[in-house]
Copies of this chain bind each other. A is one copy, B any other.
């Protein structure tokens, strides 16, 4: 199984602290050594870094830890291959364009007997169940909503149906963002927290590093971090319920739609 890390904030924020702890799991404190990747939105643009080397051995991961790229939406992934060989084209996150926006997707889990019919609009380049699920998601969204992006509530409702349909085939913890929002779906395991005023000092669980966020933030900053395993030892992480699809906007988990 792989591990996921997502960030959604109201002001561009660097992910150096969280990524430092997360990347340790890519071959050091954990066995996720079959590649890694991270995508940062900057406006509508995306910086996309993938590597089939273990995150702890990767010069590109080293760059990310040192270079504070500021972003309001980030999705990162460290891979332990279950389906698809160790190769660059199988590293998450994946990026495709829909409705004139880039969409970024990463998945943790394993899908069985998942062979949806693709119409050719989005086709996997690699051989993972994950990229196949991403292509299917985008295809179905485009089929349902045509050529223009629907209101967020409609998008959320459609995604809830689609992820439930895919999750029937196995474990489907996933994150999806177009740079304006971040969707996170939990099949089995996902946690989140919101950092906001008053900020505290956070201590990484995977490395002896701490940061006093009150020194590097303003009182208006709000940052949601979503991750497979809590990253810090002294903050309160909230577990997702199995089957839950959460939507984060500006660092705030949005209330579930009324039934």
Contacts and interface: CB of A to CB of B under 8 A. Distances in A.
A60 interface: yes
Nearest to A45: B88
Contact of A125 (B52, B60, B97, B122): B97
A50 B142 CA distance: 27
A43 B97 contact: no
A59 B60 CA distance: 11
Contact of A102 (B51, B87, B121, B125): B125
A9 B53 CA distance: 23
Interface in A92-143: 95-97, 99-102, 120-126, 142
A67 to B, nearest CB: 5
- The dominant DSSP class at the A interface is mixed
Given A96-B97, A125-B100, A125-B102, A45 B91 contact: yes
Given A59-B63, A67-B59, A147-B120, A44 B126 contact: yes
Contacts of A52: 42, 45
A50 B47 contact: yes
Contacts of A91: 45
A106 to B, nearest CB: 15
A89 interface: yes
A66 B90 CA distance: 25
B50 A60 contact: no
A12 B66 CA distance: 28
A88 B125 contact: no
A45 B87 contact: yes
Contact of A101 (B42, B48, B125): B125
Interface of A: 42-52, 59-60, 63, 66-67, 87-91, 95-97, 99-102, 120-126, 142, 146-147
Given A97-B122, A122-B97, A123-B97, A87 B50 contact: no
A125 to B, nearest CB: 5
B43 A88 contact: yes
A24 B251 CA distance: 39
Contacts of A124: 100
A209 B49 CA distance: 29
Nearest to A48: B48
B44 A89 contact: yes
A79 to B, nearest CB: 13
Contacts of A89: 42-46, 102
Nearest to A96: B97
